Every structure is written in structure tokens, then in C-alpha cells.
Structure 1
């Protein structure tokens, strides 16, 4: 009877692919692209998959990329990373820091004033460049080590994660019809933990989320006669303040529900009252039911404030994107943790509490069955440490929690993974996670030979 030979033979090729993966990371970090505009990044990723022998499909749901490597009968395992960056000015001081500026997305096209559109700085302040480089490395190792596993690896580069729209777009574009549907989907995410370690949650990893746009309508005019009309900036400010108060009143602290106004777009100069103001709001909750209830609370706030200020039209509330909570099922979580303990040792595998962060990865799994029609897809997700030894050691605080609070986190202008340590750890984590889900080889040292072929 054949036995799983373990990841050792596959990981043995890590030194051969590491330099290219670090170079890929540096390249993508220098040249970030906003959600929906990831053409160059997608092309670079697709080229690496083709070089590894994957059958590659591009242009899925925008700039989405998927590579398929069939390696005999066995499970279909989907490995995913993101392509897109953020409209954040990088302030890391790194020699490879981004200086890119790009047109803001179409949703912020300046329709509410010059502040809402134009050109914005762009950077990989969330670590998607690192996720992509590590996935490229894992894909290369799986291709090189095909003699040691069986099944099908589906490697996905997803666009537009930061807008919570890319996963749905890929699935609506027939991802699971055009390519093999998976039995399990895996992803990892950088976090301000020491580089070289990983962290697992107890099931719930990320919250359910909604991206909401609120447009407040006023009566434009001169600042000298503002009292004769309705200033939509004031309406938007009132909504910003009341939203948090109303959500706090509607939910208890243990519900972990939040409403965050991240952007207000309005006006062109101080002496001109605009006719519109737009808020961009993130809603987070541990599950879809509380998320949806929080959105309804927000709708009520907007209606009341619009009426109180005498707006000529009620504020428009548009839910632009929804994401389910990311929950790892117990068997998958246990198998991944076991694989990572074997690869890293107990001292480098930590726990992770449920997070109010959100993303759309869960749609690839069973939470998206309503969309893709494939029930029972299991989900595996873990956090990847990214802080170098010196920043971690010198960060204020005597405990890990205190240091986490002090260090630049994801979406900060100063967020910067240590590529020397994060890249090999991320490649190792994704490769061993994939091997834990894929089938066994026919025997130690068996050759894939005639079973290895394009998707």
C-alpha cells in the first residue's frame, strides 16, 4: 500500500525557486496595480505558471488567472492569492518602495467633486504581492515534485479583492465550469507577526463584510449663502458620527459589529458648497445575519439625518459588495495545522483569534455554493508572519499583543513584509498545506510520468 512520502522531497527544491520568487515579489511591489487594473501583474503570474507546466486561462472575471496541473486521480485543490493593490501612499522607506500613481477607480470618478477622483498613489499595503510570490513558489514546487503527490492543483490569481468583487466576478465568469471544481480551497494572508511563523484560528478567521456607498444630496451654491440651502458635507459628517453611535446601541460589545467610514468625497474648494457628498463605508460582523442587520441600521441613520437636514432627496445607500465570513472546517484546520507543525515546529505555529478583517475568499468555498453551485467545498486559511527580527524586537510592548498593536498593520502606509524570511515561510506553508490536501503518490519515489499532463 502506498504511503504519503511527506513534503521533504518537494520542499527540497525550495532553494532553486526562492530567488526568482523574491525577485517576483520585488517587481510586483514596485509596480502595484489597483483593483480591476491588474493587467501587468496577472501577466507576470500567468507566465510563471506556464513555465511550470500549468495549463493557464486568463481574463477570468476581469484580469483573473488560473493554472491547472493534472497529476493523476485524486483531490482537486485550489490555491489562491490576490493580484490587486491599494490607493495608499507607501511610506516604508524601502529601496523598492512603490512610487506609482494611477487613476482612481470608476466608483470614485470625481462625480462628487475633484476630491473623489483623479490620480492616487498606489502600493501593496496589504501584502498581496507577498501572497502572490509565495503562491508562485508553491506552484513551482508542486510541478517539480509531481512524483510525490496525486490529484489536480488549481492555482488562482484573483483580481479586485480589495473591493470584495473579484471572487464573485471569477465565479460568475464560470471558473468552476471552465476549470475543475475543487474539493478544498486554501489561502494565506500576511499579518504583523514574526516572519517565519504561521497562525491558525479555531474556525472563524475573518468576518462577513459589506462595502457601502452613501450619497448625500444638498443644494450647491456660495459659501456666503450656505445657510439658505443644505450642505451635503454636513449631512455626511452627521451620518459618520451617528452611524457608530447607532450600531453601538443596536449591538452588544460581544457582537463585534463595526461600521467604519473610510472616505468622504465632496467639493472642490472652501467657498463653494457642493451639491453632493459621498461616503465609502465598511461594515463588519461575525456572520451575514448581523452584517445585514448593521446595514439596515446604517440605512436608518441615513434616512433620519437626510430628513433632519432637509435634503432635497433622501441619501442614497448602495451596497456595492458583500462577503461571507471565512470559516475553516475542523478536519481541514486540523490537517493544515498538523502539516505546518511538521514543517515549522511548534514554536513557529501560533493561534489566531477571530478577526474583524474581511475578504471575499470564502466565496470560492461552500459559502459561495449559491453562486457557483458546488456544495461541500472545504476552506483552509491561515495567517503568515511578516515582521523581521529587528522591528519585532524593538517594537514597544512586552507581550505579543502589545507588539501587534504597535507595529504597522495591513493597509498602513508603513506595512512592509520582510522578504528574506516571509517568502520562504509562505512558500513552505502553502506547499505543505497543498500536499496535506492532495492525494498520495503510488509509492516512494514514484514517477508521475504518463499521468502528468495539462488541465
Structure 2
């Protein structure tokens, strides 16, 4: 028989009571009031940060200025900050007693494209992209994500009396090229720092500002990149019989590869093959030696993914064979898997969103056709994970588009521009509430 003294028995009883005490539900209304109060004081600084980031975008793995800016913000808040994780990534940790570890991710990078929004703080930045100068723009919303990320950190640090556990805020490079998450993981993200129990990320979308959208289960698509070099034999444009024309081979491939989608794939399952770039030749009367095409494969099902990849390779080889051309160089790179939201965490967080945002908390019925390497963190063990969206456009503009007016620019459009207020506020409110719902008591 185990004998214990009165003091030990009391401590054991207290421990058992603490273990058995159910987690207290988050007082959403009170928490949201505190978040808004804190935001009212810090919002001018957050807006200035947003405009600065928007005006100074950087491409993947080149985000040195952006990373330094965010690292400085987090140090001021009291986080322990490590820079250069996975290249330009930032990891900021703060511990506030015992409890779970919660990851909150943002992205640092922008896109190689010219901005045409006309905003007073629009980007005019140019940078090297594949050896050529290119304009750079935050045309996917990562500027909003970063501002919301910093705002969430500010809110949580101002409410340390309301939560216990560890915050792990990460700023990831190169999301647009779906390489940044893997780079951070390969650099020991979950070995050098606490492995998260929960993970959250948000993304802007072409919806009304103030809306928060969520979906349990599969959310984004699998993605694989296509890079094929078709080889020929150069010659004079007037004598194609003395050459092998890789432009014709590439053109035939671009048209015929769509038969993989229309004929090989189950028509009830989504799947897309898009060729977005073709480079080759120097003049209209010269048949070049080679032509390079680049594209993307998107889908939501592993079997569809395998079938599309195999079909692209088959059509590329067949197009070359029909012209008597050499075997093409085919590179279909592993991109990223679908983001899959854990149903239990989605339901738990959605209940908070509905209470906080009312009819602006909207369950999604469809998939997101784009892809996200946030899925890499779940694959590395963050199984309790939720990725949600927030809207960016004035509600009147959204309604006008629904009534047949000008369509809303989608992510990656040169005209894609958020309304900072209330978009950033909504991002901070939603993310802070999601974290408090895990760590709060």
C-alpha cells in the first residue's frame, strides 16, 4: 500500500482537481472588446508598417529588409527572435507559463510583377528575377498578412493575463515559389524551437472586408510545377524542312496537354494544367534550337495528381516524337500538398468566429484553387491546424460586382489591393481570438 502524508495528499488532490477542471470557454465579447481597445491605440503604427511593407516588396529568399523590419517589431514586444532561419525566415518565441505551443505564420515574399493599383504607396521596386530586372509587388496580400501578424502579436502581449502557453510566430520566406516552408523545416525549425501543438495562418481573398471564411478538411490544391525544354534543330524560317522546329513542338504540346484534363481525369474531380510561360527564339525568320515552357498542375486528389503528372510527361514526349525531335528535358517538380484543416479545430474556432463576427463569419463550400506550402507544417507534425481567409474589398464594390459591375481583381492581379481598414483589423481580431481560444482560460 502506498502511504502519503497530509501535505503530499493535499498537493496530489490539488493536482488532480486542476487536471479534472474543464477548460473555461472563451468570453468572446469581452476578448474582442479588449482586442479592439488595444488596436485603437496601435492602429496608426500598424498602418504605417503595412504601407512601408507594401511599398518595399521583396522576392522569395531576397526578403532581407522585410525580415529585419518584422524581427525588430517582435523584439520590441518582448519576443526572443532568431533570424536567417531557412534563409531569410524569422522565428519569434515568447513563453507565458505552462500550456500548449501555438504557431502563427506569415509570409515575407512578393511577386515578380508590376503593380497598377494607383495607390499612393504603390510599389515601384525592381529586382533581379532569373537574371532579368523585374518589377515586384505585393499582389497576393502578404503585406496584409504581415501587418495582421504583428498586430496579433501586439494584442496577445497586451493580454498576457488572459492566456498561458508558448507563442511561436514565424515569418516564412518564399511562399510564392512553395519553397520557404520546407527551407525552414530543413533548417531545424521544429528541432531548434518548440514543436507546435497548434498552428494558424490566414490569407486575403477577393471578398468583402470584414468577412472571415473557413472550411474544414481539404482547402487548397496540390501543386506541381512544369518546366519542359523542347529541343530542335535551328535553321532559316524559309526552309523549315532543313530544321526541326521546337516552336511547333511546344505549340502542339500546349494544345494537346489539355486532353489530359478532359480525357484522362475523372470529370467529377477537379484538376487543372496551365502553361503560363513560353520562351524561345530571337527573330521571326529564325527557327530556334529550343523552346522552354513552364506551367502548373493543380488538383485535390492524390490519384488525379499522379494521372495529370504522367499525362503531361506522355504528351510532351509524344509531341517531340511526332516532329522527329530529340527527347525533351522534362522537370515536374514536387510543389506542395493540399492544406487540410483539422475538422475539430475548425469547428472550435468557427464557433468563436460566428460569435465575434456574426453573419460575416462564413463557411466555405468550395475549395481554393490556389496552393499553399503552409501544408508542410502539418506534414511535419502540426496536425491541429487551421488556415482561414479574410476579405479585402469595400462591401459596396463587392455588391456592384455581383450586380454585373466591374469584376473584383483576384490574387496575383496587378490591380489587387486591399482596403487596409477594416481588413487588417479583421485579421488581428480573428487571429487573436483563434489563439486565445486555445491558450486562454
Query: How far apart are 1:439 and its partner, in Å?
Result: 4.5
* 1:438 paired to 2:414: no
Distance 1:266 1:31 in 2: 32
* Match runs of 1:6-405 below 5 Å: 6=28, 7-8=31-32, 9-105=34-130, 109=131, 118-312=132-326, 314-365=327-378, 368-369=379-380, 374=381, 377-395=383-401, 397-398=402-403
> What secondary structure, in the 3-state scheme, does the structure 2 residue paired with 1:68 have?
strand
Distance 1:133 1:233 in 2: 45
Distance 1:327 1:163 in 2: 19
Distance 1:33 1:265 in 2: 24
Evaluate the alpha carbon distance shift between residue 62 and residue 288 of structure 1 in structure 2; reply closer, same or farther with a 3 A threshold. Answer: farther
* 1:428 paired to 2:434: no
Distance 1:66 1:146 in 2: 19
Distance 1:121 1:198 in 2: 31
Distance 1:335 1:274 in 2: 58
Distance 1:23 1:288 in 2: 43
1:347-399 deviation line (CA, Å, top 9, x unaligned): 4434341122111101111xx23xxxx3x62220111101113422332x34x
Moved more, 428-437 or 4-13: 4-13
| 8 A Cα contact 2:235 2:242, kept in partner | no
Alignment-derived partner of residue 419 in structure 1: 420
TM-score of the superposed pair, with normalisation by structure 1? 0.87
Evaluate the alpha carbon distance shift between residue 227 and residue 415 of structure 1 in structure 2; reply closer, same or farther with a 3 A threshold. Answer: farther
TM-score of the superposed pair, with normalisation by structure 2? 0.90
Query: How far apart are 1:407 and its partner, in Å?
Result: 1.1
Unpaired runs of at least 5, structure 1? 110-117, 441-455
| 8 A Cα contact 2:91 2:171, kept in partner | yes
1:375-427 deviation line (CA, Å, top 9, x unaligned): x62220111101113422332x34xxx78x92110011111111121111111
Query: How far apart are 1:5 and its partner, in Å?
Result: 5.0
Query: How far apart are 1:220 and its partner, in Å?
Result: 2.6
> What secondary structure, in the 3-state scheme, does the structure 2 residue paired with 1:224 have?
coil
| 8 A Cα contact 2:244 2:325, kept in partner | yes
1:60-97 deviation line (CA, Å, top 9, x unaligned): 11111111111111111101111111112111121211
> What secondary structure, in the 3-state scheme, does the structure 1 residue paired with 2:316 have?
helix
Alignment-derived partner of residue 444 in structure 1: none
| 8 A Cα contact 2:243 2:287, kept in partner | no
Distance 1:298 1:424 in 2: 44
Distance 2:389 2:197 in 1: 21
| 8 A Cα contact 2:216 2:347, kept in partner | no
Alignment-derived partner of residue 445 in structure 1: none
Distance 1:223 1:121 in 2: 34
Alignment-derived partner of residue 409 in structure 1: 410
| 8 A Cα contact 2:224 2:296, kept in partner | yes
Unpaired runs of at least 5, structure 2? 1-20
Distance 1:347 1:27 in 2: 29
Query: How far apart are 1:175 and its partner, in Å?
Result: 0.4
Distance 1:267 1:143 in 2: 57
Task: Output the aligned Cα RMSD.
Answer: 1.9
Distance 2:92 2:367 in 1: 31
Evaluate the alpha carbon distance shift between residue 227 and residue 94 of structure 1 in structure 2; reply closer, same or farther with a 3 A threshold. Answer: farther
Distance 1:122 1:166 in 2: 18
Distance 2:365 2:43 in 1: 27
Query: How far apart are 1:333 and its partner, in Å?
Result: 0.4
Give aligned pairs, total: 416
| 8 A Cα contact 1:69 1:143, kept in partner | no
| 8 A Cα contact 1:206 1:359, kept in partner | yes
Moved more, 336-345 or 174-183: 336-345
